Amino acid sequence: MGEHAPEKSESVIPFAPAPKAGPEGNFVAEDSGRAIVALLQKAADMAKEDCARAMDVAHKLSFEIRAVEERAREVEVEAAHFRDRTSRAEAEAVHFRDRATRAEAEAAHFRDRTTRAEDWLLRIHNEVEQAFFQKKEREPRQASPQRSFYAQPQAKDASDPMIENDRAGRRR
């Protein structure tokens, strides 16, 4: 059984001729046995090649899986980084909204104070005007020709644009 029959390129193996009586019958059995052993050897070689190919594919897939797992870890780290940045940006947005709200409240407060200050200035202006300038209009008719401190400006002063602007500003 140590010898093998020559391999044929055909996929069909011909059957052995019908057994003959006598000593030649052993030769036929031996030829058939060799053919079977050769077929078994060929099947074993094919199985070995298939196994080697399967192992190669398994190794390739294993490497690809490792690479994909590594990339997945990198993407997870990157996603965590962006989640952290998003959280910080949202916190900053809340902070700036709070600051804007406080600034708006402060601006409203100062607008209110400005309005009240303008009202006080207008009130003071009106009181000063009533107290000093209305008396002044009554006094020149009764007063002497000397000019009083409260007297109306002379005609040349009345046409002066600076004085007119000053008076217009006080009457607001």
Query: Phi and psi for 102 in degrees, rounded to 5?
Result: -65, -40
Kindly state the DSSP code that residue 160 receives in the 8-state scheme.
-
Q: Is the pLDDT of residue 141 over 90?
A: no
CB of 25 within 8 A of CB of 19? yes
Give the per-residue pLDDT at 28.
83
Q: Is the pLDDT of residue 1 over 50?
A: no
Q: Is the pLDDT of residue 168 over 60?
A: no
pLDDT in tens, 90-107: 999 999 999 999 999 999
Mean pLDDT for the stretch of residues 126-153: 65
Q: How far apart are CA 125 and CA 134, in angstroms?
A: 13
Two tokens at 65?
């899986």
Which position has the token pair 């007297």? 151
Amino acid at 168: A
pLDDT in tens, 31-65: 888 999 999 999 999 999 999 999 999 999 999 99
Residue 19 region by backbone torsions, left for phi larger than 0, else alpha for psi between -120 and 50, else beta: beta
